[in-house]
Chains A and B, each alone.
Chain A
């Protein structure tokens, strides 16, 4: 195979790229994953649960490593492990006690232990070293049509659940105390959200690798929340940004020797920094503090 050459005729470039089946699958999978990550990530940023999101993403790594070691498919490992970790985090103590939130310690312990377990599985399954990088940092070259179908089905299910509980979840995320007083089951909603976050992380992780899930979960939603605070439009902006990030990153990564993860995170981070800069400039011009992004 000759190395692809870039021309400024973007349409021709796309057509050239899409003549390769694996690139078509990469674009399909990337778009599906971007839509899901943008919406779940929007809630995650609102609820300030990035740490939990990162942990659930990372937990997919030992899951996949164990599944490969046992001879099962990596997909099964991703989903089983992420969902189990979500339930553990939801079940373990989280509430405010003695003036500090213990949740972060629990999440940190779960994450580190999961990674250590992943290391053990790799040690048990020798000669897996190249696979390790792929699990941690992702690979978009080997996506099969069956994988795309699985991703689409999971995305549909999770989005259907979000459509069902979206409104009470929004209420519970913005003001948990008042929501609880109105009879909204905030604790159950929180657990349900963690499970959905886990499913999302497991999905995204298969494309971006366990360590880079974050780029799609945090950055497009954070950017969207800087642009507008109204939930509907903000979520739409988030979806558009995430999809655009994935497309541009795939496009650039195809022509460059550097990994997809690098482009993905750089583009998403660049968009965030630019938006934050503009928002800060606007706020400074109006001579009042920016409410967005300030600690509650």
Chain B
């Protein structure tokens, strides 16, 4: 019944409050993830974001186990770990092994809190961990959706403010440092923004799936254009479009989990970008050879 309704009247989606909340929060988070994601790809720091998303999982479960609001633990732990990994790395760029080690341990800690939560809280259930991991975008209420949108908008604004020096520092660290750009400070600021984005997105796509919204649009944009500011816009656009199309598809076909639908669109976008740029490059090569 829902299916026929949605197909007959796609605008009708917006009459449901839960869909409005999902769309508001999803759009804001996607825009932030797109902007941050392109920079992550450019700085080859996608692995850091991956680790942070798992930290967010542990943070949320720890807060649940202790009995606080999940969001408090989420933000506190994610930002702290991001800064800690940056401090251990070189010029606020965490090293591969450090990320891996911290990451593995934090996940182990997550299972610990999951056990504590499910065994000590009578209201707790085994599904809590799965919800944190995979998100429940259609379950957001108005207040949470508003807060999510405001935080995501703040992240977007902050990224745009530091975009120029950050791009310079990302593309050529040594020259940027020589020109007096505070490379290390920018690195920490960027890590904080990435942490806030992943923590925020955990509520929308879940801790495990935010990586897709960060990596796929960023990677696609980096392939499609070499101009950084345009690529940032493109990345945010692809991410937002993925969320819209994914949410609509998931609304139309209830069997599809929304997170899966969103990530499918984003991944297909990246795959399309790879194929498009490959054929374009082959054409250029062909023309060069035959001119």
Contacts and interface: CB of A to CB of B under 8 A. Distances in A.
B41 A100 contact: yes
Contacts of A92: 274
Pairs A-B, 9 closest by C-beta atoms: A265-B108, A112-B212, A108-B215, A105-B219, A269-B105, A218-B100, A116-B263, A50-B100, A51-B47
Interface in B229-258: 255-257
A120 B250 CA distance: 11
Interface string A191-221: 0000000000000000000011011011100
Nearest to A295: B90
Interface in A97-126: 98-102, 104-109, 111-113, 115-117, 119-120, 123-124
Contact of A262 (B111, B216, B223, B274): B111
Given A50-B100, A129-B127, A101 B44 contact: yes
Interface string A38-64: 000000010010110110001000000
Contacts of A215: 104-105, 107-108
A116 B256 CA distance: 10
A227 B266 CA distance: 43
Interface stretch (A75-83, A130-138, A236-244): A130-138
Interface residues of A, number: 59
Interface of B: 41-47, 49-50, 54, 89-90, 93, 95-105, 107-109, 111-112, 114-116, 119, 126-127, 129-130, 133-134, 171-172, 208-216, 218-219, 222-223, 226, 255-257, 259-260, 263-264, 266-267, 270, 274
A137 B111 contact: yes
Given A51-B50, A115-B209, 12 more contacts: A45-B100, A58-B208, A105-B46, A106-B219, A112-B212, A112-B213, A119-B209, A120-B257, A130-B126, A211-B107, A268-B104, A269-B105
A128 to B, nearest CB: 10
A171 to B, nearest CB: 20
Given A130-B126, A265-B107, A100 B211 contact: no
Interface of A is mostly: helix
A283 to B, nearest CB: 14
A214 B104 contact: yes
Interface stretch (A22-30, A157-165, A175-183, A253-261): A253-261
B111 A261 contact: yes
Contacts of A71: none
B104 A265 contact: yes
A170 to B, nearest CB: 18
A104 B41 contact: yes
A258 B260 contact: no
B255 A262 contact: no
B100 A293 contact: no
Contact of B115 (A98, A99, A124, A257): A257
A87 B32 CA distance: 32
B215 A105 contact: yes
Contacts of A211: 54, 107
Nearest to B38: A105
A82 to B, nearest CB: 17
11 contacts: A48-B96, A100-B42, A105-B41, A116-B260, A129-B126, A130-B126, A133-B129, A137-B114, A218-B104, A257-B115, A294-B90
